[in-house]
Structure 1
Amino acid sequence: MEYNNLLTDFEDGITTITINRPKKLNALNKETIQELHDAFKEADEDSATRVIVITGSGDKAFVAGADISEFADYSVAQGADLASQGQALLFDFVAHLSTPVIAAINGFALGGGLELAMAAHIRVASENAKMGLPEVSLGVIPGYGGTQRLPQLVGKGRAMEMIMTAGMITADQALDFGLVNHVTTSDELFLWIDKLAKRIKQNSPAAIGSAIEAVNAGFEDGENGFDAEITLFGKCFGTADFQEGTQAFLNKRKPDFKGN
């Protein structure tokens, strides 16, 4: 599929999606959000893709926020629809994909950009990255899941401070807060992520998808994460990946997982 605002690449089981709006610092507009949904959906449905990497073009920004010009004159109802549709189409969609998603934060990740990174399952930042939710400085609040996912990752107090000050934190602070998993040099970012992705993709795609679902269940209203884990654990016993994994272990060979 061809995109106006994205570049996609597939190599050795890893699909990389690059937001390609460098003149706008890769800001998210409606078209880009729709294209991201389509690209993630296509990669998730491709059995050859074991890991998805999301990043931004250039060396300045992952995503520097939303395209404010698109909604500056919105009404109350339009604002609510913007958040509802965006969360369903992209941010919640990414968080619940069965294919693991790694965010390669290669610069500014602000507003919707940080919210996109937080929707990913793992975050790796280059040392020049800066992260924040500056929405209150514009008279609005984060609307793509930021008020929910940030406290889950860094705790309520730190999330409140980041949101209320509208300030940015460095990559090292983000690592200390637990907002990112790892920090690398700019030159090593994608080499490091490639190594991480290769470690992930040698494991069972079916089991990884179930693990993502179980972890997410613990953060969902009305869901009991322990019950979800029990159910999903049991379902694993009915997969070909479970049979392959156990037989490979017993026969002292490397497993050949197919993802079913």
Structure 2
Amino acid sequence: MLPTPKQEPDVQCSWWEKGAASVASPFGANGVELGKNFTSNGVRGNYHVFAEGIDFSRPVRVVVRLHGDGAREYDVADGLTACLADQANRHNAINVVPKSPDTVGSVTWWEDIPRNREWLGALLQQEIYPRFGLSAQDSVWMGYSGGAEMITYGILPRNSEWIGQSATMVGGGGAPHEVAVQPSAAQRENLELAWVVGLNDDGRDGTFNALGNARAGAEFYRSIGFARVQEAYPAGYDHVSVPQIKILDQRLSGEAISLG
């Protein structure tokens, strides 16, 4: 008998409604801006920014979080997305949550990678980093399911320099056919790559085999010289129940992923 899947806490994190931000910041009310528009080369998309209590007198990081297929996390901003943002802000990290500019069928990152990648790169390099005096070197990436696939198929093979400190692939992150632009020696040595997938997330229900994809992705990037590859495949979790809030906390704290 299979173990009962553990569940991500079903909580609401509408914390921006509870009062003013504790530290003055150049953001909207309580450091939150939802549904902002950004257009690059005729491609229009949207994004959220969460920055409650960010102290710009201290080192600031940027968490770039890519949603899964369908973009439900983006659309329901006071659920998991806001809980993740709260965790990022506690680590003095701005949380940027872009929505793929995909306009055909279900919203995904991976169905038109070149178009979506160009828009995402422009958003970060032309809007986010200049606005807040940051750079790609300050970035920590996290992708879930299709968002994890975007990182391993779309970003790392061609623009690994966009990821400054680490990338965490949750519920996916397969191996590309090739790397179009080779990462530098420094990136291979220093960039932290982590895959986190529940052992039950193996396609047993006839859908996406995230476990197989993640194992292949981790092995591929290890084989081309990335020295800091971490894998975590905890028992009792499936595609929707992996505790992403805890994972982000551990990644931002510099801890090894432990979900026992």
State the TM-score, normalized to the length of structure 1.
0.34
State the TM-score, normalized to the length of structure 2.
0.34
Structure (1/2) with the larger helix percentage:
1
Report the structure number with the largest CA radius of gyration: 1
Q: RCO greater where, 1 or 2, for CA within 8 Å and sep 6 or more?
A: 2
